[in-house]
Amino acid sequence: MHLGQTVRFLDWRDGSLRQVKVVALRDTQVTLQDLRERREWKLPYAAIEPPAPSAAARHAEAAPAPAAPRPTREDFRCGEKVAFEDKYLNTVVGTIVRINERTASIDPGDGTKWRVGFGLLRHVLDI
């Protein structure tokens, strides 16, 4: 959203969609000016309907790039070296010691043990 952009919102008084122009952007709300009445509204961002994408943007969105397939249980074996991110976004590298139904048991070699879902794992190549 940017200044001068035309957007719409639902007027709770009469239930109509009003077409307005963005005149100010704040942290939690946006100031809008009605195009017909020259009235200003201050609304939260969630109350605003974004404009329809242009024809060029619709064409670009029509063919999104295919997403990479998520790894499954069949992609991993015991003894393989894998990596994943912990809850603090630190990369942990370890060896698979057991394949469970939905998770793999990982030993990073520092005395800790991890059970990680297959979709979060990625292979590590030793060079």
For the segment 7-36, the average pLDDT, to the nearest whole number, is 85
Q: Running DSSP on this structure, what letter comes out for residue 56?
A: H
Give 61-77 pLDDT, tens digit per residue.
Answer: 556 667 778 889 999 99
pLDDT of residue 62: 59
Q: Measured between alpha carbons, how far is 125 from 83 in angstroms, rounded to an integer?
A: 10
Q: Running DSSP on this structure, what letter comes out for residue 62?
A: H
> Does 79 lie in the same domain as 118?
yes
> Does 42 lie in the same domain as 81?
no
CATH number at residue 100: 2.30.30.140
* Residue carrying the six token digits 């190549």: 125
**For the chain, what is the mean pLDDT?**
85
Helix (H, G, I), strand (E, B) or coil at 60: helix
Q: Measured between alpha carbons, how far is 6 from 56 in angstroms, rounded to an integer?
A: 18
Q: Measured between alpha carbons, how far is 40 from 21 in angstroms, rounded to an integer?
A: 9
* Residue carrying the six token digits 């991890």: 114
1 lies in a domain?
no
Look at the chain and report how many structural domains it folds into.
2
Six-digit token string for 4: 């001068």
> Does 46 lie in the same domain as 81?
no
59 lies in a domain?
no
pTM: 0.49
In which domain, by residue range, is 29 found?
6-51
Helix (H, G, I), strand (E, B) or coil at 30: strand
Q: Measured between alpha carbons, how far is 80 from 87 in angstroms, rounded to an integer?
A: 22
pLDDT of residue 57: 57
